[in-house]
Chains A and B, each alone.
Chain A
Amino acid sequence: MGSNGNQHTITALVQDKPGVLARVASLFRRRGFNIVSLAVGNSERAGLSRMTFVVNGDQGTVDQVTSQMGKLIDVVGISDLSDQETVARELALIKVESSASNRNEIVQLVHLFRASIVDVGSQSLVIEVTGEEDKINALANLLKPFGIKEMMRTGRVAMVRGQAEGRVSDGVGAGRRPEASIQGRVDYEGV
Chain B
Amino acid sequence: MKLTGAEIVCESLLKEGVEVVFGLPGGAVLPLYGALSRYPQLRHILVRHEQAAAMAADGYARSTGKVGVCVATSGPGATNLVTGIATAQMDSIPIVAITGQVPRPAIGRDAFQECDVTGITLPITKHNYLVMDVADLAATIKEAFHIARTGRPGPVLVDIPKDVLQGERAEFVWPEAVNLPWYNPPTDAAPDQVAKAAKLINQAERPVVLAGHGVLISHAYEELRQLAEKAQIPVITTLLGISSFPTDHYLNVGMPGMHGMAYASLAIDRADVVIALGMRFDDRVTGRLRDFAPNAKVVHVDIDPSELGKNVKPHAPVLGDVKCVLRQLLPLVHRKVRVEWLRSVDTLRSEHPSLNIRETEALLPQFVLRQLSQITEGKAIIVTGVGQHQMWAAQHYGFKDPNTLITSGGLGAMGFEVPAALGAQVGCPDRTVWSIAGDGGFQMTMCDLATAVENNIPVKFAIINNGTLGMVRQWQDIFYNKDYCATVYSANPDFVKLADAFGIPGIRVTDKSQVASAIQQAMATPGPVVVDFVVKQDENVYPMIPAGESVREMMEEPSPAELRHER
Q: Collect the chain A residues with CB atoms within 8 Å of residue B183's CB.
A: 73, 171-172
State A29–B401 Cα separation when bound (angstroms).
41
- Is there contact, CB below 8 Å, between A173 and B289? no
Does A183 lie at the interface of the complex (its beta carbon under 8 Å from any beta carbon of B)?
Answer: yes
Q: Collect the chain B residues with CB atoms within 8 Å of residue A166's CB.
A: none
- Is there contact, CB below 8 Å, between B317 and A182? yes
- Is there contact, CB below 8 Å, between B311 and A185? yes
Known contacts A63-B309, A70-B305; A26/B290 CB under 8 A = no
Among candidates B123, B289, B547, residue contacting A30 with C-beta atoms closer than 8 Å: B123
Among candidates A171, A174, A177, A191, residue contacting B283 with C-beta atoms closer than 8 Å: A191
Among candidates B185, B290, B312, residue contacting A174 with C-beta atoms closer than 8 Å: B185
- Is there contact, CB below 8 Å, between B304 and A173? yes
Minimum distance in angstroms from B269 CB to a CB of chain A: 15
- Is there contact, CB below 8 Å, between A73 and B309? no
Among candidates A68, A73, A185, A191, residue contacting B306 with C-beta atoms closer than 8 Å: A68
Among candidates B180, B288, B309, residue contacting A183 with C-beta atoms closer than 8 Å: B309
Q: Collect the chain B residues with CB atoms within 8 Å of residue A179's CB.
A: 317
Q: Collect the chain A residues with CB atoms within 8 Å of residue B310's CB.
A: 64, 183
Known contacts A76-B182, A182-B317, A190-B546; A22/B305 CB under 8 A = no
From 303 to 327 in chain B, residues with beta carbon under 8 angstroms from any chain A beta carbon are 303-306, 308-314, 317, 319
From 113 to 156 in chain B, residues with beta carbon under 8 angstroms from any chain A beta carbon are 118-119, 122-123, 126-127, 130, 147, 151
- Is there contact, CB below 8 Å, between A187 and B288? yes
- Secondary structure class of chain A's binding surface, majority of residues: loop
Q: Collect the chain A residues with CB atoms within 8 Å of residue B308's CB.
A: 67, 178, 182
Residue of A with least CB distance to B479: A190
- Is there contact, CB below 8 Å, between B182 and A176? no
- Is there contact, CB below 8 Å, between A177 and B547? no
- Is there contact, CB below 8 Å, between A23 and B319? no
Does B184 lie at the interface of the complex (its beta carbon under 8 Å from any beta carbon of A)?
Answer: yes
Does B175 lie at the interface of the complex (its beta carbon under 8 Å from any beta carbon of A)?
Answer: no
Q: Collect the chain A residues with CB atoms within 8 Å of residue B289's CB.
A: 185-187
Q: Collect the chain A residues with CB atoms within 8 Å of residue B311's CB.
A: 185
Does B503 lie at the interface of the complex (its beta carbon under 8 Å from any beta carbon of A)?
Answer: no
- Is there contact, CB below 8 Å, between A27 and B123? yes
Among candidates B303, B305, B312, residue contacting A67 with C-beta atoms closer than 8 Å: B305
Residue of A with least CB distance to B189: A177
Minimum distance in angstroms from A22 CB to a CB of chain B: 7
From 144 to 191 in chain A, residues with beta carbon under 8 angstroms from any chain B beta carbon are 170-174, 176-179, 182-191
State A71–B308 Cα separation when bound (angstroms).
13
Residue of A with least CB distance to B306: A67
Does B353 lie at the interface of the complex (its beta carbon under 8 Å from any beta carbon of A)?
Answer: no
- Is there contact, CB below 8 Å, between A188 and B123? no
Q: Collect the chain A residues with CB atoms within 8 Å of residue B123's CB.
A: 26-27, 30
- Is there contact, CB below 8 Å, between B548 and A188? yes
State A182–B193 Cα separation when bound (angstroms).
15
Q: Collect the chain A residues with CB atoms within 8 Å of residue B548's CB.
A: 187-191
Does B292 lie at the interface of the complex (its beta carbon under 8 Å from any beta carbon of A)?
Answer: yes
- Is there contact, CB below 8 Å, between B304 and A185? no
Does A41 lie at the interface of the complex (its beta carbon under 8 Å from any beta carbon of B)?
Answer: no
Does B378 lie at the interface of the complex (its beta carbon under 8 Å from any beta carbon of A)?
Answer: no
Does A77 lie at the interface of the complex (its beta carbon under 8 Å from any beta carbon of B)?
Answer: yes
From 41 to 63 in chain A, residues with beta carbon under 8 angstroms from any chain B beta carbon are 60, 63
State A160–B281 Cα separation when bound (angstroms).
36
Among candidates B118, B303, B319, B546, residue contacting A178 with C-beta atoms closer than 8 Å: B319
Minimum distance in angstroms from A66 CB to a CB of chain B: 9
From 165 to 191 in chain B, residues with beta carbon under 8 angstroms from any chain A beta carbon are 180, 182-186, 190
Does B223 lie at the interface of the complex (its beta carbon under 8 Å from any beta carbon of A)?
Answer: no
Known contacts A27-B123, A191-B548; A184/B313 CB under 8 A = yes
A selection of 18 A-B contacts at a CB cut-off of 8 Å is A19-B130, A70-B305, A72-B127, A73-B147, A171-B182, A171-B183, A172-B151, A172-B184, A173-B185, A173-B319, A174-B185, A177-B319, A183-B313, A185-B292, A185-B312, A187-B290, A188-B548, A190-B547
A contact residues vs B (CB 8 Å cutoff):
18-19, 22-23, 26-27, 30, 60, 63-64, 67-68, 70-73, 76-77, 170-174, 176-179, 182-191
The 6 tightest CB contacts between A and B, nearest first, are: A190-B548, A190-B547, A182-B309, A185-B289, A67-B306, A174-B184
Given contacts A173-B151, A177-B319, A178-B319, 13 further A-B contacts (CB under 8 A): A19-B130, A23-B122, A27-B123, A60-B309, A71-B305, A76-B182, A173-B184, A174-B185, A176-B319, A187-B290, A187-B548, A190-B283, A190-B546
